[in-house]
Structure 1
Amino acid sequence: MIELASVIRDLREELEQAIAAAEGASLRFELGTIELEVSVALERTGHAGAKVRFWVVESGGDATVNSTSAQRITLALQPTLTGSGNPPYISGSAAPDER
């Protein structure tokens, strides 16, 4: 199983690589809402100061988490570039008059 935070971090890194790789390309894609559907298992530690952790079940791993009650969740992520308030373009920096 993989921590949910790691899945989101890896997704962010992949999107940043796509933006960098498309620098100078003439075809642009605006990145809209990302819907991520994952199977998760919930883990709660039983000591003082305990926290809840969400683990993403890897493909083909459903049978191993039956005892921990895997649940399916969908996350809707709205990406924005830091400080811009606008969604990022996968093709790199914006051209004049482009938002």
Structure 2
Amino acid sequence: MELAEVIRALRDELESAVEAGAGEALRFELGPVEVEVSVAIVAGASAEVKPRFVVVSLGASGNVERTTTQRIKLTLTPREGRTGRTPMVAGTAGERER
């Protein structure tokens, strides 16, 4: 799985949490999200192929030409796309000012 796919899946999960919490009395402000993954920097035999980050799972093995595995930690700060505000994982964005 490529790193972009992991971030896309995280975004989908957070959006689901916001939607699932609509109308709840208790809400949580979504602060910085820390994600730590092990990635393999994969480079093929051809110089034309650019290196890419592939998230590896424990016990995974592959048949690649060259692989360097590193752990990286990302700190992501979610913002609502339309307003730029910090999202809430319960309730709706319009209720935030209460």
- Where does the alignment leave 5 or more consecutive residues of structure 2 unmatched? none
* Count of aligned positions: 93
Q: Which residue of 2 aligns with 1:13?
A: 12
2:78 aligned partner, one-letter code: P
Deviating 4+ runs (over 2 angstroms): 44-48
User: Whole-Å Cα distance in 2 between the matches of residues 21 and 75 of structure 1?
Assistant: 25
User: Whole-Å Cα distance in 2 between the matches of residues 96 and 59 of structure 1?
Assistant: 40
What fraction of aligned residue pairs are identical, expressed as a percent? 46
Kindly provide the CA deviation profile for residues 41-93 of structure 1, in whole angstroms up to 9, marking residues without a partner as x: 00134243x322100011332xx26x622100001101000121211100131
- TM-score relative to the length of structure 2: 0.83
User: Whole-Å Cα distance in 1 between the matches of residues 96 and 14 of structure 2?
Assistant: 23
User: Whole-Å Cα distance in 2 between the matches of residues 52 and 92 of structure 1?
Assistant: 41
Q: How well do the aligned residues superpose, as a CA RMSD in angstroms? A: 1.8
- Where does the alignment leave 5 or more consecutive residues of structure 1 unmatched? none
